[in-house]
Amino acid sequence: MFTVSSSSNVYTQGIYSISEINQFNATVKLVNPNIPTSLSIVDSNGNQKFYNRFDAQTEVVNIGPINNADMIAIVGKGELAITFTKD
């Protein structure tokens, strides 16, 4: 389960179901240097709407709008800091 607030949380490898009623936006940053980690977002119809492999710790990526019933998959041994903002 994914909990959204207007702060940042750190996530590790896993699949996270979105159960927020309202759409929100987020940015993602790799926490661990030199530990590549990938993030993918799949919508409720099974369509991949976002994919990125995070290699650099300084890279901050806007992952765009996230909706109810989307799924976020994180693959790799690194940790990703996800910062949420509600619309």
The pLDDT value recorded for residue 23 is 85
For β-strands 80-86 and 24-30, DSSP reports them as antiparallel
Total domain count, the chain: 1
Domain of 57, CATH number, reads 2.60.120
30: domain range?
Answer: 8-86
44 or 85, which is more confident: 44
Q: What pTM, to 2 d.p., does this model score? A: 0.85
Asked if the structure places residue 48 within a domain, the reply is yes
The pLDDT value recorded for residue 77 is 95
pLDDT in tens, 21-75: 788 899 999 999 889 999 999 999 999 999 999 997 788 999 989 988 999 999 9
Asked if the structure places residue 1 within a domain, the reply is no
Cα-based distances in Å from 14 to 58, 63, 87 = 22, 17, 26
The alpha carbon of residue 21 and the mean position of all alpha carbons in its chain are separated, in whole angstroms, by 17
Dist CA 48 CA 41 (whole Å): 6
CB 15 within 8 A of CB 71: yes
CB 36 within 8 A of CB 76: yes
